[in-house]
Amino acid sequence: MSSNKGSSYSEPRTASTRRGPERFWDTTVAHDLAFLLARANALSLARMHAEIEPHGLKARSYSILSLAAAGMLPSQRELSEFLRLDPSQIVTLIDDLEQRGLVIRESDPRDRRANVVVATEEGHKLAEESRIAVMNSEAEWFSALPEEDQISLRRILGVLAAAR
């Protein structure tokens, strides 16, 4: 299996006979925090989308609907900051939710420039349904981890996510 005929170069051209991307896990990139975060997030997003797309939501619309349904009365500006999205993207997302009768925009009486996002009855129902779906799919994914690690991860990510 190992045809090692004269490796006089600093980096062997024919290299090992092993193939497939698994071998990349030994490298420094693969231990990089940014890389690990990106990959874990990609996997998490894919799972979440598979779970809530049947409900007509994606990660972002789900977040907005959830905050509205939690009675937080978020303004669009607040959503923009919290979700790290441009204000114009928030407009589009809420347009969609509003057209589907899940939320409404109410003018904030304290500042008539601002809109406050409120969930309708339908919005509340969908928020609850999809919340359960998301939590189930998360629980499934995390079952690979010992409970102690699950708790640590949530706590540590909380610190990083809240930090600038």
- Site size toward DNA, by CB under 7 A: 23
**Crossing angle (nearest 10°) for helices 59-69 and 33-52:** 70
Q: Is 55 in the site for DNA (CB under 7 A)?
A: no
Q: Please say which residue, 25 or 99, places its beta carbon nearer to its own copies.
A: 25
Among DNA, its own copies, none, what binds residue 130 when CB lies within 5 to 8 Å by partner kind?
A: none
Between residue 81 and residue 120, which ones bind its own copies under the rule CB under 8 A?
Answer: 81-82, 84, 109-110
Listed residue (29, 35, 63) closest to 49, CA to CA: 63
Phi-psi region of 114 (alpha: psi -120 to 50; beta: other; left: phi over 0): beta
Nearest Cα neighbor of 61 from 24, 28, 23, 94 is 94
Q: Is 2 exposed, middle or buried (0-12, 13-18, 19+ CB in 10 A)?
A: exposed
Binding site for its own copies (CB under 8 A): 11-15, 19-21, 23-25, 27-29, 31-45, 47-48, 59, 62-63, 66-67, 70-75, 78-79, 81-82, 84, 109-110, 131, 134-135, 138, 141-142, 144-145, 149, 152-154, 156-164
Residues that bind DNA (CB under 7 A): 58, 75-78, 80, 85-92, 94-95, 105, 111-116
